[in-house]
Amino acid sequence: MSVVWQQVATPDDVEAPLGDPPAPPRPGLVRRWLWAPALAAAVVLYVVRRSVEDPSAELELWLVLGMLAAVALTAVAALVRYRDDQTQAAAARGARALATDARATTGSVTVRERPVRGGRMLSGVLAYPGEDGTAEETWSLLVRDDDELAAPRAGDPVAVWWAPGSDVVVARYNRAWADEVRRRTR
């Protein structure tokens, strides 16, 4: 399950229609296609090894080690590509589910804060009423030092959109909106 966190500028934006959730960033060309040149290098090294007549033991060792390294790089790069494709497909399925059957509710968050270079890493649990009782999803958000929007506090309410059968939950937050919801519920 993935939580798409949206910090919005005004309280009115929190309850605005959902629209399309932002897509995850597309991986770069090198990350996406590194497996191809690594595989080509493994094939070239194999052909060289097979075509050299009576190679020395040292040359054969280096050719075999080069092939093994190229095959290992191919395998890792192919697995990275596979996981990237799975992430993109899950995000697309979630966007379709939210577009056809989004349900809005109010949830709350727990917040843990950890300082990182250039900001703070917030993480916690998002709890909201779901199909089968209370659903709880883990989330994380990087808040930069120069971010003008206030970060959530522990126990703050958030607007939540979810769809049955979807792996994507959208949570929207604005500090003034959260304070108003807290004031109304006391």
**Contact predicate 168/95, CB 8 Å:** yes
Which helix H or strand E contains 180, and what residues bound it?
A: helix 175-184
pLDDT at 186: 78
Dist. CA 10–CA 4, nearest whole Å: 18
* Closest by Cα among 67, 90, 88 to 165: 90
- Helix (H, G, I), strand (E, B), or coil: what is residue 76? helix
Task: Give domain limits for the chain.
Answer: 2-8+102-184, 29-96
Kindly give, in sequence order, each residue whose CB lies less than 8 Å from that of residue 22, ignoring residues fewer than 6 positions away. Answer: 4, 6
**Angle 35-51/57-101 helices, nearest 10 degrees?**
160
Dist. CA 91–CA 24, nearest whole Å: 7
What pLDDT band is residue 45 in, cutting at 50, 70 and 90? very high
**Contact predicate 178/11, CB 8 Å:** no
Q: Express each pLDDT in 64-117 by its tens digit.
A: 999 999 999 999 999 999 999 998 888 888 888 888 888 888 999 999 999 999
pTM over 0.75: no
Dist. CA 14–CA 158, nearest whole Å: 8
115 phi/psi in degrees, rounded to 5: -70, 140
What pLDDT band is residue 158 in, cutting at 50, 70 and 90? very high
pLDDT at 141: 86
Region 121-139: what's the mean pLDDT? 89
pLDDT at 61: 95
pLDDT above 90 for 7: no
pLDDT at 15: 85
3-state secondary structure 98-164: HHHHCEEEEEEECCEEEEECCEEEEEEEEEEEECCEEEEEEEEEEEECCCCCCCCCCCCEEEEEECC
